[in-house]
């Protein structure tokens, strides 16, 4: 055998015996390491790596180090990122059907949200996401969002008047605050703390765990329970990454995502209580609004405008409202 042929046969043998190169997956996460979603994403990564025997090696990047949410959605759709935990709020700008989930008071409570998302209606949202390059494998809890601010307790919609609130990137939230008489400014999550501190904005809105983990409670101590938004979050994989998988690996990734959602939801329930206790102990003033219905009533025009612009989504709204 000539040297070249010998070298070639060695190289071929190495190719046959060497394990396939691991697929390194990059995962986007906005939250810090100890947040329920982060712990669940780490669990997902570990389960996928173990069950695929290292064929896929997911790594989670916490604290939005890979960019803010609207950017990360784009990157995942384009295959620049492999997986992520996304809130359906900023998703609405890209996948219009998901805007239904951003209509204030669309869900009666979190249990109803889970029933909807885990069932046939949730599948319709997954289908809409799939058309835009995202495979939604499971749905996380995100509690319900309420307003908080630096100035005073909000008890009626009139208290919102004249105040400037940060909202997530979605026109619907701008309308929501506008109909309550306030001003809304869409802003990246990571900029909110400083903006509250320096008075660029008077308030924002979020669930207890995020109000706590972002430290917004330190600078905006008035938290008024309006529960105006219950927005699900997905564990999504980029279609580009998904389509490269064998059927066996797809099943493993799907199962790991379902397990992650289960873990996230149970951690979430605990964390909501802990965060509420923590912010109260730190001096936050939490109040129930006097008349929650008044807030809901103020949203009538938001629904009317939305349905006028999206007549095809009216039946989806009705189906959600009819789900018990
Ligand atoms: C948190 C969500 C996160 C959002 C953030 C926000 O989990 O995805 O980016 O709110 O308000 O509750 O931007």
The residue ranges of every structural domain in the chain are: 22-142+232-274, 145-230+279-322
Candidates 141, 191, 198, 130; CA nearest to 166 is 191
In this prediction, residue 21 carries a pLDDT of: 82
Distance 275 CA to ligand 1 centre (A): 15
Distance 37 CA to ligand 1 centre (A): 11
Are 104 and 160 in contact by the 8 Å Cβ rule? The answer is no
- In angstroms, the CA 321 to CA 315 distance is 10
94-122: average pLDDT: 97
145-230+279-322 has the same fold as 22-142+232-274? yes
Mean pLDDT in the chain? 95
Q: What is the pLDDT of residues 21-39, one digit of tens each?
A: 899 999 999 999 999 999 9
From atom 2 of ligand 1, which residue's Cα is the shortest distance away? Answer: 87
103-121: average pLDDT: 97
Distance 123 CA to ligand 1 centre (A): 23
In this prediction, residue 18 carries a pLDDT of: 47
Q: What is the pLDDT of residues 159-211, one digit of tens each?
A: 999 999 999 999 999 999 999 999 999 999 999 999 999 999 999 999 999 99
From atom 6 of ligand 1, which residue's Cα is the shortest distance away? Answer: 189
Residues ≥6 apart with Cβ < 8 Å to 52 = 249, 252
Distance 227 CA to ligand 1 centre (A): 15
Please check the confidence at residue 59 and state whether its pLDDT lies above 80.
yes
Q: What is the pLDDT of residues 243-274, one digit of tens each?
A: 999 999 999 999 999 999 999 999 999 999 99
Q: What is the pLDDT of residues 284-320, one digit of tens each?
A: 999 999 999 999 999 999 999 999 999 999 999 999 9
Q: How is domain 22-142+232-274 classified at the architecture level of CATH?
A: 3-Layer(aba) Sandwich (3.40)
Q: How many residues make up the chain in this entry?
A: 324
Query: Residues with beta carbon inside 6 Å of ligand 1?
Result: 30, 69, 87, 142, 168, 189, 206-207, 210, 233
Candidates 105, 195, 186, 191; CA nearest to 144 is 105
Are 243 and 180 in contact by the 8 Å Cβ rule? The answer is no
Query: pTM for this one?
Result: 0.93
Give the pLDDT band of residue 4 (cuts 50, 70, 90).
low
In the Cβ-directed half-sphere of 7, how many Cα atoms lie within 13 Å? 3
In this prediction, residue 226 carries a pLDDT of: 98
In this prediction, residue 17 carries a pLDDT of: 46
Domain 145-230+279-322 -> CATH class: alpha beta
């Amino acid at each position: 055998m000539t040297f070249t042929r010998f070298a070639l046969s060695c190289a071929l043998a190495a190719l046959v015996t060497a394990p396939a190169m691991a697929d390194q997956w990059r995962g986007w996460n906005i939250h810090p390491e100890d947040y329920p979603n982060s712990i669940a994403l780490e669990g997902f990564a570990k389960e996928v790596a173990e069950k695929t025997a290292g064929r896929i090696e997911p790594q989670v990047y916490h604290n939005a180090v890979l960019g803010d949410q609207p950017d990360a959605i784009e990157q995942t759709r384009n295959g620049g990122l492999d997986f992520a935990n996304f809130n359906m709020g900023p998703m609405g700008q890209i996948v219009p059907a998901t805007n239904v989930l951003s209509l204030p008071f669309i869900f009666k409570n979190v249990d109803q949200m889970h029933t909807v998302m885990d069932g046939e209606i949730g599948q319709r949202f997954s289908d809409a996401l799939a058309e835009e390059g995202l495979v939604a494998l499971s749905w996380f809890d995100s509690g319900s969002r309420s307003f908080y601010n630096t100035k005073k307790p909000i008890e009626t919609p009139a208290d919102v008047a004249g105040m400037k609130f940060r909202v997530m990137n979605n026109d619907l939230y701008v309308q929501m605050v506008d109909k309550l008489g306030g001003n809304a400014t869409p802003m990246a999550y990571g900029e909110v703390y400083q903006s509250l501190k320096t008075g660029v904005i008077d308030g924002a809105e979020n669930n207890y765990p995020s109000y706590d983990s972002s430290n917004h409670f330190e600078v905006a101590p008035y938290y008024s329970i309006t529960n105006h938004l219950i927005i699900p979050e997905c564990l999504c994989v980029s279609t580009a990454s998904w389509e490269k998988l064998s059927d066996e690996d797809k099943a493993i990734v799907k199962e790991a995502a379902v397990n992650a959602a289960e873990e996230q939801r149970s951690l979430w329930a605990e964390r909501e209580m802990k965060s509420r206790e923590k912010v109260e102990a730190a001096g936050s003033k939490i109040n129930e609004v006097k008349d929650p219905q008044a807030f809901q009533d103020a949203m009538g025009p938001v629904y009317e405008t939305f349905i006028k612009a999206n007549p095809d989504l009216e039946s989806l709204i009705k189906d959600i409202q009819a789900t018990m």
